[in-house]
Amino acid sequence: MLKTHNTLHSHYYTSESIFREELERVVYKRWLCVGREEQIQNPGDYFVQNISDESLIINRDRSGAVNAFYNICRHRGTRLCANEGGHFRETIQCPYHAWTYSLDGRLIGAPNMNDTAGFDKRDYPLHNACIETWQGFLFVNLDPEPEPLSLAFAPLDGKFDRWDIAGLRTARRINYDAQANWKLLTENYSECYHCPLVHPALAKLSPYDSGDNDLSSGPYLGGYMLINEDSLTMTGDTHRPPLGQVSGDDLHRVYYYSLFPNMLLSLHPDYVMFHTLWPQSPGRTLITCEWLFDPQTMARSDFNPNDAVEFWDMTNQQDWHICEEAQIGMKSRVYRPGPLHSIQEVLPVAFDREVLKALGH
C-alpha cells in the first residue's frame, strides 16, 4: 500500500509570519518569471514588475541588453516609474530632484551636486537585479549572488524545444486577483482530481485520470494529459497548425508544468499558455495569464485566439473560485490536514515538499 501524505497545516496558508518567511527564502531567492522578451523589443522599452515589497524596471538599453533595475532613485529613494510600462526616449529621470540615469543604469545627471564634497556620479548607478532569458521568457532573481539560471534550469534542457516557445508571441493577456494563498493555486494546478466536478468542460475534452508525470520531484513538476479532440478550446476544434515540431502523440496531449516558485507552463498542440503568480499576502495572489501563438499563424486574416482564451479564462475562474473556498476553510478552528490521493495528488505532495525544503522546515 502506498504511503499516505497529508495537506500542509493551515498556518502555511494563513500565517503572516510564514508568508514573510516565504518572501525572504523563496520569492527573494529564486528565479521568477516576469514576462516575455517581446515586451521590450526596442531600446528604451520598459515595464515595471512589482515583487511584493520591491519594484523592478525591466528595460532594454541602447546596446540591446536587457536590465532589471530597482525602481528607486539613488538620491532619496523616490519611485522612478509610476506607470506599468512604456518607452524611455533617452534617459530615466527621477520626478523628485531630476537625478537622471542612462538606460544602462549609470547616473549621468545630478543637478548642483558637483558642489557636494566627495560626490562622484560613478558611485551611484541604479541598483540592479540579476536577469536572464530562457525560451523567450524573462527571469529575475533578487539574490545578489544567485545560482546561474543555466544551472537552475538544467533539468529542463531541451525538454520544450519542439514547441519553439522562444519564437512564439503573445496574443492575449488577462490579469486576475485571487483571494487565495499562492501555494493553493499551484497545488490545484498540479492535479486534476478536482476536474470532473469543478471543470466539466475540461473533463469532457481531457480525461482527468489520463496521462502520466515525467517530473515528479524537485522544483519542476508535471507531465501530460490526453486530449480527446484537436485542442483545448471551447469546441475542442482548432484551425491552427501545430506549433514548431509538435507531432505524433503530442498532437493529442497537453503538458502541464509548475516551475517553482511562480510559473505555470501549459503546452498545447497549437498554443502555449503560462501563468505567473505574485503573492500579495497569505490570502491574496495576483495572477497573470498569457496565451502564445506562432507569429505566422497570428498574421493570417482568419486568426482568432478567442476559442482558447475563452476556454481557459472560464477554467481559470473556476480554479480561482474553488481555491478561494479552500482558503476560507483553512481558517476554520476545526481544520486538520487531510489525506491526499496516492495517485491523483502526487504532484501537490512533491510541491509541498519543495516548499518545506526551501523554508528549512
- At 4, the pLDDT band (50, 70, 90 cuts) reads confident
Residue 55 pLDDT: 98
112 and 160 belong to one structural domain:
no
235 and 350 belong to one structural domain:
yes
CATH code for position 145? 2.102.10.10
DSSP type of residue 112:
T
Residue 1 pLDDT: 47
Whether 2 shows a pLDDT value over 60: the answer reads no
147 and 195 belong to one structural domain:
no
143 and 193 belong to one structural domain:
no
241 and 145 belong to one structural domain:
no
Rounded CA gap, 342 and 203, in Å? 20
Out of 151, 169, 190, a domain closes at 151
Sheet holding 66-70, edge to edge: 66-70, 54-60, 45-51, 85-87
Helices then strands, each counted (H, E), the chain: 9, 17
Cell numbers at 9, concatenated: 497545516
Q: Is residue 245 part of a domain?
A: yes
Q: Is residue 256 part of a domain?
A: yes
Q: Is residue 9 part of a domain?
A: no
Per the structure, how many domains does the chain have? Answer: 2
Closest by alpha carbon to 281, among 7, 13, 11?
13
- At 264, the pLDDT band (50, 70, 90 cuts) reads very high
Place of cell 564634497: 117
CATH code for position 297? 3.90.380.10
Strand 100-101 and strand 107-109: the pairing is: antiparallel
125 and 169 belong to one structural domain:
no
The tens digit of pLDDT for each residue in 178-188 reads: 999 999 999 99
Q: Is residue 8 part of a domain?
A: no
The tens digit of pLDDT for each residue in 116-153 reads: 999 999 999 999 999 999 999 999 999 999 999 999 99
219 and 283 belong to one structural domain:
yes
Strand 85-87 and strand 45-51: the pairing is: antiparallel
304 and 160 belong to one structural domain:
yes
- The predicted model scores a pTM of 0.96
Out of 130, 151, 172, a domain closes at 151
178 and 70 belong to one structural domain:
no
Q: Is residue 182 part of a domain?
A: yes
Percentage of the chain modeled with pLDDT above 70? 99
Q: Is residue 331 part of a domain?
A: yes
Residues in the chain: 361
195 and 127 belong to one structural domain:
no
Tell which wins on pLDDT, 84 or 4: 84
Q: What is the mean pLDDT of the chain?
A: 97
Task: Please confirm whether the linkage preceding 111 is cis (ω < 30° from 0).
Answer: no
Out of 116, 151, 186, a domain closes at 151
Quick check: 136 and 25 in contact, CB under 8 A?
no
CA 282 vs CA 52, 328, 356: distances in Å = 12, 12, 16
| Helix 182-189, helix 346-359: angle, nearest 10 | 150
Whether 97 shows a pLDDT value over 80: the answer reads yes
Closest by alpha carbon to 185, among 38, 287, 293, 314?
287
Rounded CA gap, 320 and 287, in Å? 10
Rounded CA gap, 315 and 202, in Å? 8
Q: Is residue 20 part of a domain?
A: no
143 and 166 belong to one structural domain:
no
Residue 108 sits in which domain range?
32-151
Residue 342 pLDDT: 87
Residue 343 pLDDT: 86
Q: Is residue 257 part of a domain?
A: yes
147 and 181 belong to one structural domain:
no
DSSP string, 217-258: SSSEEEEEEE-SSSSSSSSS---SPPPTT--GGGGGEEEEEE
The tens digit of pLDDT for each residue in 212-241 reads: 999 999 999 999 999 999 999 999 999 999
The tens digit of pLDDT for each residue in 166-208 reads: 999 999 999 999 999 999 999 999 999 999 999 999 999 999 9
Quick check: 47 and 85 in contact, CB under 8 A?
yes
Rounded CA gap, 71 and 64, in Å? 20
Whether 56 shows a pLDDT value over 80: the answer reads yes
Please name the amino acid found at residue 202: L
